[in-house]
Amino acid sequence: MSLIEAPTRSSRRWLALTVLALAQFLVVLDASIVNIALPSLGADLGLDTAGLGWVITAYILTFGGLLLLGGRLADRYGHRRLFLVGTLGFVVASAVAGLSVSGEMLLAARALQGLSAALLAPASLALVTTLFVTTADRAKALGIWGAVAGIGSAAGVLLGGVLTGAFGWQSVFFVNLPIGLVVLVAIPFLVTRDPRQERTRLDLAGAATITLGLAALVGTLSSAEQNGFVDVTTLALAAAAVALLAAFVAIEKRTASPLVDFAIFRSKSVTAGNLAILLAGAAMVGLFFALSVYLQAVLGYDALAAGLSQLPLAGALVIVAGIIPPVVTRFGARRVLVVALLVFAAGLLWLAQAPSDAGFVAHLLGPTLIIGAGIGGAFIAATQLAVDDVSDADSGLAGGLVNTSQQIGGALGLAILSTVAAARTDALQSAGASAADAMTSGLSWMFVGAAIAAVAASIVAAVVRERR
C-alpha cells in the first residue's frame, strides 16, 4: 500500500483517530487504574502481597513480551483486522476480570488483557500513521493520540480511587466494556478493510525467542524492583533474557522473512526516537510512582485527593498536546523533543525540592504544570521521530517498537529508581531521621533520577539529524 493510497482508507479520518485514541487510552489506563483497587481486591479474592504483585505483573509481562510480535502480525494480516481482534480480546478479558471469583481467574484474565493490548496498541499506531501521511496532519494526529495516552497515565490513580470507592474493585475492569464496545462498532464504519497482503512465512522461531526474551527482561526488572538486583530469581531471569535475546538476533540474521528486519534501525530517527521514548518512559513511570507514594504516604492524601491533585498535570499535558503539532511541523520533531525533555527535567528537579510538609499550591502546583507541559511535548515529538521514516509495510513493527520501548523503559526506570529511593530512605532512617523526612529524601532522589533520564533522552535526540 503506497502513501498516496492511505488517505482513502477513511473519509472521516479525524473521527477514526478519536476512536483509535480511545482504544489506546484503555491500554494505558489499565496499567495504572488497578493499583488503587488492589487492597479491596486482595481481601475479596484471598490474594497475599505476592499475589497482588502478579495482578500487575501478569499484564505487564504479556503486554511487553508480545508487542513486537503483535506489530508484525498487524503488518502481515492487516492493521484494522488485528486492531479489532485485540480490542475484542481486551473487552472479553476485562469482563472476565470483573467477574472473577478467584485469584487464579483474575490472573488469567489479566494475562489475556496484556496479550490483547499487545495486538491492539501497535495496530492502533500503525493505522494512525497510514491515515495521516503529510507532516502537518501526522503531527496533529500524533498530538491527539499522544495526549489521550498521556491522560490515561495521569487518570489511572484518579479513576481507580473514584470507581473503587463508589462501585467496588470490579468497576475498574467493567469501565473498559462500554468504551471497548464503542470502538468495536465504530471502526468498521470509519476505516476500510485491509488491502490484500503478501503472505510470507511467519518467523515462528524469532517470534518465540523475542516474546520469551522480552517477557524475561520485563520479569527481571519487576523482580529487581521487588527483590533487588542480586536476588537469585532476578539473576536467573536476567540470564534467560540475555540468552533468548541473543538467540533472537542470531535467528533474525539467518531467516529469509525475519520478524524484525534490522534494516529499520538504519534510520537514525527511528533509533533515536525509540531510545528517547525508552528513557522518557523510565522518567515518567518513576515520576508517577514516586508522586503517588509521596502524596499518600508522606502528605497523607487519600486516593481521591491524590488523583485530583494530578489534574493540573493532565491539563497542562492536554493543552501542550493541542498546540505542539504546528510547532513540530515548523521546527522539526528533533528540536521540539530536545526542548520538551529539558522542560520535563526542569519540572522534576523543582519537584525534588518539595519538603515533607509541602503545601499543594506552594510546592506542587508549579512543578506539576511544568512536568505536564514537558511530557505533552516530549512523547508526541518522540513518537513522530520514531515513525516518520517508516514505510507502510513496516508501520505495525514501528508501532510495536514504540510501545515496547515505552514498556521496557518504564519497567527499567521503576526498578532502578525505586531501588535508589529505598536505599536512601533506609540509610537516613538508620541515621535517626524521621520516617517522613527519610521517605521524602528517598523520593526526592527518585525525582532527580527521573530528571537525569529525561536529560539523557534529550542528548540522544540532540545528536540526530532527522529527515525533513
pLDDT for 3: 39
User: For the chain, what is the mean pLDDT?
Assistant: 83
> Residue range 98-126: average pLDDT?
91
Q: Does the pLDDT of residue 87 top 90, yes or no?
A: yes
Q: Does the pLDDT of residue 392 top 90, yes or no?
A: no
SS (HEC) of the chain: CCCCCHHHHCCCHHHHHHHHHHHHHHHHHCCCCCHHHHHHHHHHHCCCHHHHHHHHHHHHHHHHHHHHHHHHHHHHHCHHHHHHHHHHHHHHHHHHHHCCCCHHHHHHHHHHHHHHHHHHHHHHHHHHHHHCCCHHHHHHHHHHHHHHHHHHHHHHHHHHHHHHHHHCCCHHHHCHHHHHHHHHHHHHHHCCCCCCCCCCCCCHHHHHHHHHHHHHHHHHHHHHHHHCCCCHHHHHHHHHHHHHHHHHHHHHHHCCCCCCCHHHHHCHHHHHHHHHHHHHHHHHHHHHHHHHHHHHHHCCCCHHHHHHCCHHHHHHHHHHHHHHHHHHHHHCHHHHHHHHHHHHHHHHHHHCCCCCCCCHHHHHHHHHHHHHHHHHHHHHHHHHHHHCCCCHHHHHHHHHHHHHHHHHHHHHHHHHHHHHHHHHHHHHHHCCCCHHHHHHHHHHHHHHHHHHHHHHHHHHHHCCCCCC
Instruction: Report the range of poorest mean pLDDT among 72-81, 299-308, 425-434, 452-461.
Output: 299-308
Q: Does the pLDDT of residue 400 top 80, yes or no?
A: no
Tens-place pLDDT, residues 432-456: 888 889 999 999 999 999 999 999 9
- Tell me the pLDDT band of 164, cut-offs 50, 70 and 90: confident
Question: From the CB of residue 383, how many other CB atoms can be counted at a distance below 10 Å?
Answer: 30
pLDDT for 82: 92
Tens-place pLDDT, residues 4-61: 344 456 668 888 888 898 888 888 888 778 877 777 888 888 887 667 777 877 887 7
- Tell me the pLDDT band of 112, cut-offs 50, 70 and 90: very high
Q: Does the pLDDT of residue 1 top 60, yes or no?
A: no
How many angstroms separate the CA atoms of 383 and 333, rounded? Answer: 9
What's the predicted TM-score (pTM) here?
0.79
In this prediction, what percent of the chain has a pLDDT beyond 90? 26
Instruction: Report the range of poorest mean pLDDT among 239-248, 352-361, 398-407.
Output: 398-407
How far CA 109 is from CA of 65, 116, 187, 211, 288, in Å, comes to 16, 10, 25, 19, 25
pLDDT for 153: 67
Residues 364 and 354: beta-carbon distance below 8 Å: yes
Q: Does the pLDDT of residue 199 top 70, yes or no?
A: no
pLDDT for 227: 77
Q: Does the pLDDT of residue 86 top 60, yes or no?
A: yes
pLDDT for 197: 62
pLDDT for 198: 61
Higher pLDDT, 194 or 421: 421
Buried b (16+ CB within 10 A) or exposed e, 430-461: eeeeeeebbbbbbbbbbbbbbbbbbbbbbebb
> For the chain, how many residues are written?
468
Q: Does the pLDDT of residue 251 top 70, yes or no?
A: yes
Residues 407 and 83: beta-carbon distance below 8 Å: no
Residues 284 and 138: beta-carbon distance below 8 Å: no
